[in-house]
Amino acid sequence: MKTSPIAILAALLVAAPSLAQDAANGEKEFRKCKACHMIQSPDGTDVVKGGKTGPNLYGIVGRAAGHEEGYKYSDALIKLGETGEIWNAADLEAYITDPNTFVEEKVGDASLKTKMTFKMNRNQADVVAFLAQHSPDAGGEAAAEAPAEAAEAPAE
């Protein structure tokens, strides 16, 4: 049976989000994040030494928003957590692209502002794939949850 070029193209487009994610590149891109964030396992092992301005990102994929023990979250993230938000790959990509817009769209309150002022304008899927590797509750497929639209977001 001969496969049509259209069928091959369609299969590639469906697979594109998972092909576009590169956790090794995400680890390099995470250097931009470590000024404020660390990744430290519960036993105290540093995966990435970093700042403490932001919460520890170990286990972020699969964790409820605004619920890292010992971190004082903004009202925006507390409200986001109250909506039942559980961080998945697609939402993390959208959040790190524009934190305040993400929260506004999810919570419906433009007056709420996050503490995160940094906006990542490229390689978000790679960073999330890297974070998913250090998220035991990610279910192994969290990095592949990102929709094609997120992979096609224009760079700023």
* Residue range 45-83, pLDDT digits in tens: 999 999 999 999 999 999 999 998 889 999 999 999 999
Instruction: State the pLDDT confidence band at 3, using cuts at 50, 70 and 90.
Output: low
Structure tokens at 14: 């469906």
CATH number given to 5-151: 1.10.760.10
∠ CA(91), CA(93), CA(98), 5° rounding?
95
Q: 15 pLDDT exceeds 80?
A: no
Rounded CA-CA distance 134/40 in Å is 9
DSSP 43-84: TS-EEE---SSS---TT-TTSBTT--TT----HHHHHHHHTT
Q: Report d(CA 113, CA 76) in Å as an integer.
A: 6
**Distance (Å, rounded) from C-alpha 106 to C-alpha 95?**
10
Token digits of residue 58: 């170990």
pTM score of the predicted model: 0.75
Give the residue extent of every domain in the chain: 5-151
Q: Report the amino acid identity of residue 36.
A: C
Do 126 and 21 meet the contact criterion of CB atoms below 8 Å apart?
Answer: yes
Residue given tokens 């503490």 in the structure block = 115
Q: What would the mean pLDDT of 2-30 be, rounded to a whole number?
A: 63
For residues 113 and 95, what is the distance between their CA atoms, to the nearest angstrom?
12
In DSSP notation, 90-114 reads: HHHHHHHH-HHHHHHHHH--TT---
**Mean pLDDT value of segment 91-106:** 97
